[in-house]
Amino acid sequence: MAGLWVGEAALVTAGRRGRRWLQPLLRSAALWTLKHVPHYSRQHLVVSRSLCSVGYDSNEKTFDKILVANRGEIACRVIKTCKKMGIKTVAIHSDVDASSVHVKMADEAVCVGPAPTSKSYLNMDAIMEAIKKTGAQAVHPGYGFLSENKEFAKCLAAADVIFIGPDTHAIQAMGDKIESKLLAKNAKVNTIPGFDGVVKDADEAVRIAREIGYPVMIKASAGGGGKGMRIAWDDEETRDGFRFSSQEAASSFGDDRLLIEKFIDNPRHIEVQVLGDKHGNALWLNERECSIQRRNQKVVEEAPSLFLDSETRRAMGEQAVALAKAVNYSSAGTVEFLVDSKKNFYFLEMNTRLQDPYKSFGLPSIGRLSQYQEPLHLPGVRVDSGIQPGSDISIYYDPMISKLITYGSDRREALKRMEDALDNYVIRGVTHNIALLREVIINSRFVKGDINTKFLSDVYPDGFKGHQLTENERNQLLAIASSLFVASQLRAHHFQEDENSRVPIVKPQVANWELSVKLHDEVYTVVASISGPTFSVEVDESKLNVTGAWNLASPLLSVNVDGTQRMIQCLSREAGGNMSIQFLGTVYKVHILTKLAAELNKFMLEKAAEDTSSILRSPMPGMVVAVSVKPGDLVAEGQEICVIEAMKMQNSMTAGKTGKVKSVHCKAGDTVGEGDLLVELE
């Protein structure tokens, strides 16, 4: 499964057999109770998180109305399922989400507060009032927000409203990492060595870390989804990790308690799906590999794992079931394990929900989707989303665009379908992570299954910089860009022709177009000619034939370059010759001019680059949590200047050089946009 996020992402591979029984089972487990289940195999995993495409027994008693206490794609998926089951739905929303897709899909909608989650989607009083107002008989919490909040479950029980999920005992036991670890030990489940109590302060954190031995993992007791987690390799990183983790935990979960464990270096992250009913039955549905991560958040997920053998898989599944039974678990849930190179596995945590967290890579981006088109015309593709063209990606919530899932008869087919789906996905208006996803799934290590949780940092030690073109790919891009340029010029000439024009237009008779194309600071001489839909392009002593429909108004352009089919997107074309093309997932900026225009362009002055060492700009939209300096302060290179919170993750902004603070342009509580000036140095 590949999830698309603004800033980052995820792949599920498996066969098709078993989908007919497994989908109703998941719906039944999520909304009711688990019934008799036939024997299952590893090929069933492709729908291990499906809640949308389900069937149901029309004679089965159901709720009349359900309130969905969430937003985005998970709210949309729950609402779709309810519609198929004939159940009316109530959506809740913040004021900025009033026009969201999940609000439009539901039968009723209630505003529960302003944009901040603490005042809306975490506002239990407002949500309880919405339940009372609409007469909803049950609440589906989705994932995140209140899905693992035992107090919310208690409020619902007191109001005689059904919580579609596990009971409060299981939520409390598994939602608290400290308690869940103790329960896991008692249930004979393998656990990671560490401190089992609550860490009081930074000094105690350092003492405990030294006792355990570095490196250690500092993480929120009530956390999940990678938030409130830090790896520390020494005392200084432990103090910083304690501060940031506790702040993130308080912001995301309303609980700043932390625990410390031994960090297992280079592990695999593998999860097991469990289902339990209210009659003491529980089972496991095999595993999914989630080792491709960034900041402890999953980027790519795959089922089944190439690493596990049948014996290890069974042992992990049996321990997951033992843990579920230990807390009388009665819902769909996820048990997470870390697995080392020798196939030793350790319990990490249990999520009392279907796993579907936000996965972030790089810096989040906000904005409005000016154009959006899902690749649903391709076989073996599914997209779970809660947005549409015109939707806003806000700083207040996880910036996920969608989850992209592909499946096939084998891994090779599923991977190829993922590659095609990413090439055919149109997302305009915000920065996305298609380039990263595409590079991960074609990487030789990933294809071989040679992965661990440090995959991204190992493969991209200096950060991800997009696809690195081979010489042949570079020539293909230059040929495609040149063909697009000539096609647009010819179209412009066609529009200029007008028999009634007072000024006669002389149609240029050009047999060969001599062009100057700049790519990555290198300038190439290109000669292009056209014959029908085919361009013949000479570049770097190579001749390529490029054929296509050349519909310049289409967001997707299918072109054939010497027999190789490519799906590209021309994101922008400017009169000055600048062009942005999405090719092999990555956006490349090229500058194309005719030979004459390029000669004249040499006399144009270039804008001087800004000296960024003396200024600090916000690299992302977010909220200023803290400012550590004031005018006149002396700061050292690398010293923390301020902290920006974006999508519930805190990021330390540091000085680019040693100097004196000239001015500070922000204060704690300010909302800042990408590129906003924060601090100036003399």
d(CA 537, CA 545): 6
247 C-beta neighbours (distance < 10 Å), count: 17
Can you read off the two tokens belonging to residue 446?
Answer: 């990933």
Q: Taking the CB of residue 529, how many other CB atoms lie within 10 A of it?
A: 14
Res 357: pLDDT = 38
pLDDT in tens, 266-294: 899 999 999 998 888 999 998 999 999 88
Q: Which residues contact 207 (CB under 8 A, 6 or more apart)?
A: none
Contact present, 475 and 539 (Cβ < 8 Å): yes
Min mean pLDDT across 65-79, 295-309, 584-598 is at 295-309
Please say if the pLDDT value at position 53 is more than 50. Answer: no
pLDDT value at 7 more than 70: no
Report the pLDDT averaged over residues 10-17: 36
Rounded mean pLDDT of 485-497? 77
How far apart are the two ends of the chain, measured CA to CA in Å? 49
Query: Residue 397: its pLDDT value, please?
Result: 82
> Is residue 299 within 8 Å of residue 58, measured between CB atoms?
no
The model's pLDDT over 197-223, given as tens digits with 9 standing for 90+, comes to 788 899 999 999 999 889 898 888 766
The 10 Å Cβ neighbour count of residue 125 is 10
Short-list 551, 528, 410, CA closest to 478: 528
Q: How far apart are CA 674 and CA 662, in angstroms?
A: 21
More confident residue, 363 or 19: 363
Q: Which residues, 6 or more positions from 272, have their beta carbon under 8 angstroms from its beta carbon?
A: 284, 285, 286, 287, 316, 317, 320, 334, 335, 337
Angle at 423 between CA 419 and CA 425, to 5 degrees: 115
- 644: which strand partners? 624, 651
With bands split at pLDDT 50, 70 and 90, how would you rate the model's confidence at 245?
confident
pLDDT digits (tens, 9 = 90+) for 349-401: 887 655 473 333 455 577 889 999 999 999 999 999 999 999 988 878 877 88
147-170: b (≥16 Cβ within 10 Å) or e: bbbbebbebbeeeebbbbbbbbeb
> What is the DSSP pairing of strand 659-664 with strand 640-646?
unpaired
Residue 56: the pLDDT is: 55
All residues at 6 or more sequence positions from 116 whose CB lies less than 8 Å from its CB, including other chains: 94, 396
- Averaged confidence pLDDT in the chain: 84
Q: Which residues contact 255 (CB under 8 A, 6 or more apart)?
A: 220, 221, 222, 249
More confident residue, 230 or 568: 568
**Residues involved in catalysis:** 349
Of 83-97, 134-148, 176-190, 425-439, least confident by mean pLDDT is: 176-190
Query: 525 falls in which pLDDT band (50, 70, 90)?
Result: very high
DSSP secondary-structure letter at 47? G
**What is the model's pLDDT at position 294?**
80
Instruction: Give the model's pLDDT for residue 70.
Output: 96
Q: Are the beta carbons of 299 and 436 closer than 8 angstroms?
A: yes
Q: Decide: 292 and 233 in contact? Cβ < 8 Å.
A: no
Please report the pLDDT score of residue 252 as a whole number. 67
pLDDT at 156: 95
Kindly list the distances between the CA atom of residue 680 and the CA atoms of 611, 625, 677, in Å, as whole numbers in the listed order.
11, 18, 8
Check: CB of residue 585 under 8 Å from CB of residue 435.
yes
Provide, rounded to the nearest whole percent, the portion of the chain with pLDDT above 90: 55
Give the global pTM.
0.79
Question: What proportion of the chain, given as a percentage, has pLDDT over 70?
Answer: 85
The two tokens of residue 530 are 């056209």
Q: Which two tokens stand for residue 481?
A: 């860009």
Helix (H, G, I), strand (E, B) or coil at 647: coil
Task: Read off the pLDDT band of 527 (50, 70, 90).
Answer: very high
Listed residue (401, 392, 355) closest to 374, CA to CA = 401
Whole-angstrom distance, CA of residue 127 vs CA of residue 68:
10
What would the 3-class secondary structure string for 568-581 be?
EEEEEECCCCEEEE
Q: Between 235-253 and 202-212, two packed helices, what is the crossing angle to 10 degrees?
A: 120
Is the pLDDT at 28 greater than 50? The verdict is no
Cβ(33)–Cβ(278) below 8 Å: yes
